[in-house]
Structure 1
Amino acid sequence: MKRELIRKTAWSLVKKFNTNDPIKLCKYLDIPVYYHELGDNILGFRTNLYGVSSIVLNSASDSQTQRITCGHELGHDRCNHDDNTDFLQRSSLYTRVYGTEYEANCFMVELMLARNDIDESVDTQEGILRSVSIPTWAANYVDWPYVKKLLVNQTSSNI
């Protein structure tokens, strides 16, 4: 799926349901979210059995990690990935440049950017990430030229 379509998909969900919280979006989309102890390495996974998706999050993770993981797993669902089970593991948080993991991470980033006012006083990429709760490991999935346009538009609308 192309980046522009991923962005459009994420932003249209946020607009329709008035939230960018992936756990709430799953509720609105009738995608069950379960919490289970998944050990130290698995953050969560999505299953798709007989066309019915569900997401399982690691109950030992903090709420921010659960939110990010849910956004990633929701990305698998919304990008129509055919795998029966997609796992997000701590060891797989390195940059992908294509494929289903890349698309799911791009979706999560777009979801986090939607409906967030980026702090205009922040002048570093790390600061921008922090201002919209995107983890630093996901910096390579951010479309920085697009974020720059968002900042310009946000600044001009505040004048």
Structure 2
Amino acid sequence: MADHGFRARLMQYLRARTRAGDDAEDIVQEAYTRLSAQPPERPIVDRERFLWRTALNLSASLGRHQRVRTTAHADRAVLDLLHPAAPPQDEVLAMRERLRLVEAAIADLPERTREIFIAVRVDGLTYSQAAAAFGISSSAVEKAMARAVAKLTMKVNRIDREA
């Protein structure tokens, strides 16, 4: 087999120039294990070259594995940000109750104000488009929206204080 000095140089190289770091000793040991597992009918002519190449291949493989694992963790973190885990059931129930109360507050608006509010906030019409749709001025849409938002804000604030 190769001498102790060769083994030390190989480990030093792996620690210094590859991503192996603390795994260098394990990589070198695995290279020696693979050398000893070679079948007798396929003798290794240059044992040091075999060990060197095997150790570098193992180091590269370890580096790829670590990058994949790091990427997978980063991907998981991004997915968690984009699609967070479902909120606790009590929060879901509280949100549903709040939504029900807001919907009731919208339903309590005067009919014309409610229609304008829904056209702008739900259907996404601009004030000009809503004015044209309802046959009124943009100023009238602005005033209706201001009244709707003021009434809804008061009701939502009251709901928040009661909760």
The bucket for the TM-score relative to the shorter chain is under 0.3
Greater helix percent: which structure?
A: 2
TM superposition score normalised by structure 1: 0.24
Greater strand percent: which structure?
A: 1
TM superposition score normalised by structure 2: 0.24
